[in-house]
């Protein structure tokens, strides 16, 4: 199977919403969902307009990023109770989070978790992902039956992904799914040429989605749809809806992605079909 071919049984588009992230402050972005109540409302709204998976970063009472296990467990439970969305927790956290806390995220037992495939400059910071740490995340997910989404910030990280699978086997669920995170200052650019270059390196049989950070959001979305890929949108990645227009809420971004997916004749797939696609247990 060529990497750009949708998996059998699904020619539709899996839309993931990344509503919060770890980088924006509530003070600067008052409509960022940071409390559990705001997150659950966001999850419901986004499911209604076409999201099938949610990529979650949790905040503390002061709206600062946290990897507190109790909060993570509470969040997983609340989103499961209120939606059918596939619940993906970030193991990326914030650039300041230690490896132990990032590994500890897996004990919250989400359906899926992110696994970044290498170190990347991240604006003025460094997002550190040593090989041994990546392997520990991969194995930790295999042991717990958590389905990874491999986050790819630069092309060499696709080579690392191939090495990971060769040396340590397929992930839980038996299927490889990755997300090209494009347009991070320090990572690969968010444009069609780079997406096409990345596809040559996607492992056979894998599915991919793509995320364009900042102003690359729309070009990457359109390029991914046209290449048979899935998409991730949300306020973690972009705060502007159009030139000079701030995002109203996450559902606005999901609704736009769903509309474009329909126009591309690859309509959004629901959470149940997406579970089959990714190998996530129902
Ligand atoms: N917040 C970034 C440092 C992930 O969620 O796995 C890392 C990130 C990737 O957002
Ligand atoms: Zn994230």
Q: Is the CB of 128 under 6 A from ligand 1?
A: no
Q: Is the CB of 16 under 6 A from ligand 1?
A: no
Q: How confident is the model at residue 230 (pLDDT cuts 50, 70, 90)?
A: very high
Based on the structure, what is the number of domains in the chain? 1
Does residue 10 lie in a domain region? no
Q: How confident is the model at residue 185 (pLDDT cuts 50, 70, 90)?
A: very high
Provide the residue range defining the domain that includes 187. 15-277
* Tokens encoding 12: 């539709």
Tens of pLDDT, residue by residue over 147-164, are: 999 999 999 999 999 999
Say yes or no to pLDDT of 1 above 50: no
Does residue 145 lie in a domain region? yes
CATH number at residue 162: 3.20.20.70
Does residue 155 lie in a domain region? yes
Does residue 282 lie in a domain region? no
What residue owns the CA closest to ligand 1's atom 7?
92
Q: What is the mean pLDDT of residues 207-226?
A: 98
Task: Give the ligand 1 atom nearest the CA of 18.
Answer: 5
């Amino acid at each position: 199977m060529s990497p750009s071919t949708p998996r059998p049984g699904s020619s539709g588009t899996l839309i993931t919403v990344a509503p919060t992230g770890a980088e924006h402050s509530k003070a600067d972005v008052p409509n960022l969902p940071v409390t559990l109540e705001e997150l659950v409302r966001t999850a419901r709204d986004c499911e209604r307009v076409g999201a099938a998976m949610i990529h979650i970063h949790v905040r503390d009472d002061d709206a600062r990023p946290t990897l507190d296990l109790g909060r993570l467990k509470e969040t997983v439970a609340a989103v499961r109770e209120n939606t059918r969305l596939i619940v993906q927790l970030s193991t990326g956290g914030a650039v300041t989070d230690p490896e132990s806390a990032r590994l500890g995220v897996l004990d919250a037992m989400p359906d899926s978790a992110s696994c970044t495939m290498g170190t990347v400059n991240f604006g003025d910071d460094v997002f550190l992902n040593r090989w041994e740490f990546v392997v520990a995340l991969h194995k930790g997910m295999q042991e717990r039956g958590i389905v990874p989404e491999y986050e790819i910030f630069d092309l060499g990280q696709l080579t690392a992904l191939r090495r990971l699978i060769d040396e340590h086997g397929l992930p839980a669920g038996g299927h490889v799914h990755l997300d090209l995170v494009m347009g991070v200052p320090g990572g690969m650019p968010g444009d069609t040429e780079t997406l096409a270059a990345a596809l040559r390196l996607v492992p056979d049989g894998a599915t991919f989605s793509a995320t364009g950070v900042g102003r690359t959001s729309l070009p990457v979305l359109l390029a991914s749809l046209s290449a048979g890929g899935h998409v991730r949108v949300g306020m973690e990645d972009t705060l502007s809806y159009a030139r000079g227009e701030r995002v109203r809420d996450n559902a606005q971004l999901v609704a736009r992605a769903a509309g474009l997916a329909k126009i591309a004749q690859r309509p959004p797939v629901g959470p149940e079909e997406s579970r089959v696609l990714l190998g996530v247990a129902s």
